[in-house]
Amino acid sequence: MSKFNCYILLTWGPRHGYKTTEHPAAQAQLRNIAAVIRGGFQQSRVVIAASDYTRKIHGPEDLPGLFHYLSTARLREAGTGLVMEDFNRIFRACTPGGKRFVLEALMEYGDLLTDLRTKMRLEQFGRSAISRLVREDMKPLNLARRPHPGSPESRRNQTARARDRSRAARKAHSDKLMRDLLALRDELEGEQGKVTIDDLVDHANRAGLRNARGGPLTYPTVARALRRGKGGAPMG
């Protein structure tokens, strides 16, 4: 299985509280990387080898993760290069005065850096490509396939989400009904002693308790709710 070491640059979203792989900004980049790499290498594994979080880049010192990896990679064997989904992402975050310093520092490692937007190593960029890379704010990549709103996959996803919401709503209603029935049973037992399920069904319906569909409670519904609660169901 092929292994691809990638670099993730985070410039928005929360700085703390997320693992890099779980950060929304990182996930967007990883989807793009996976879309490109797995298009040519079906058996591949993408690994985050370096990452940085910075809102603004004034120079190489604002990208410590990237340059630490690159400097140590120089000491290793061939094949330890780094893949980034879009070099322009770095320069979009650079201050005007910082672009030249960052470019000069990156060019020292041009043989180790691969840009997936162009599928080229930085050392292969010509003068016009570098000028465009540094000066233009290119539109962010969005290579990962997303289901079309009307596609079967999209409809299946919508159905699954609706099913999950319905299941959660039913469980919430069942939990509340169980608590209400247990409270009503305890109240009735305190007033009149033993309470049968038939008694509880009658009092619950008169108290306005309803099943998940909004209808009156029945013996099986009440018995089932009580079995879920503490103390079990009253007999009778």
Give the Cα separation of 229 and 231 in Å (integer): 6
Instruction: Supply the pTM of this predicted model.
Output: 0.56
pLDDT in tens, 125-145: 999 999 999 988 888 777 665
CA-to-CA dists, residue 125 to 6, 63, 84, 122, 188, angstroms: 19, 21, 15, 5, 82
Q: Are residues 107 and 195 in the same domain?
A: no
Q: Is residue 46 part of a domain?
A: yes
In a domain, 141, yes or no: no
Are residues 94 and 161 located together in one domain of the fold? no
98, 42: one domain: yes
On whether residue 142 sits in a domain, the answer given is no
Q: Residue 140: what pLDDT?
A: 79
Instruction: Look at residue 200 in the predicted model and tell me its pLDDT.
Output: 93
- For residues 117 and 8, membership in a common domain is answered with yes
What's the CA gap between 74 and 112, in Å, rounded? 9
Would you say residue 235 lies in a domain?
no
The tens digit of pLDDT for each residue in 120-130 reads 999 999 999 99
Length of the chain: 236
Tell me whether residue 236 is in a domain.
no
Considering the domain architecture, whether residues 45 and 123 belong to the same structural domain is answered as yes
Q: What is the mean pLDDT of residues 193-217?
A: 89
Q: Where are the alpha helices (DSSP H) in 43-194?
A: 64-73, 88-92, 99-107, 127-135, 152-192
| Residue 198's pLDDT band (cuts 50, 70, 90) | very high
Domain that residue 166 falls in: 152-228
**Cβ–Cβ < 8 Å for 30, 8:** yes
Instruction: Please compute the mean of the pLDDT values over residues 145-163 and round it to a whole number.
Output: 68
